């Protein structure tokens, strides 16, 4: 799975939690989940759980700490899915 493919799928994961839908349409790897997308910090756990389910991966605490922006999320998903092969 390419980074672009992960980004497209990640938008679907983030959508229910994003208050700024306009910003979601134009996200890139530098987009901050809380500042740019206006995602409530309490929902970050829900996003991690949804990503774990979608990609059939387990995200540990260290990896979760990296998921503050879109690029960090892609890095973690890419790393965890590559560990499965």
Give the pLDDT mean for 64-74: 96
d(CA 78, CA 39): 22
Give the pLDDT mean for 23-49: 95
pLDDT greater than 70 at residue 28: yes
pLDDT greater than 90 at residue 85: no
Using the structure block, give the residue that is written with the tokens 């774990």.
52
Q: How many domains does the chain have?
A: 1
12: CATH: 1.10.1200.10
pLDDT range class, residue 49, cuts 50, 70, 90 = very high
The values of phi and psi at residue 59, to 5°, are: -105, 115
What angle, 0 to 180 degrees and rounded to 10, lies between the N-to-C axes of helices 70-83 and 44-55? 30
Domain extent, residue 18, equals 3-84
- Please list, in sequence order, all residues whose beta carbon lies within 8 angstroms of the beta carbon of residue 22, skipping any fewer than 6 positions away: none
């Amino acid at each position: 799975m390419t980074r672009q493919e992960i980004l497209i799928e990640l938008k679907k994961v983030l959508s229910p939690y994003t208050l700024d839908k306009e910003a979601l349409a134009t996200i890139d790897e530098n987009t901050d989940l809380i500042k740019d997308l206006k995602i409530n910090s309490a929902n970050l756990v829900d996003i991690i759980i949804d990503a774990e389910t979608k990609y059939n991966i387990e995200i540990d605490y260290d990896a979760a700490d990296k998921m503050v922006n879109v690029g960090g999320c892609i890095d973690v998903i890419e790393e965890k899915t590559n560990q499965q092969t």
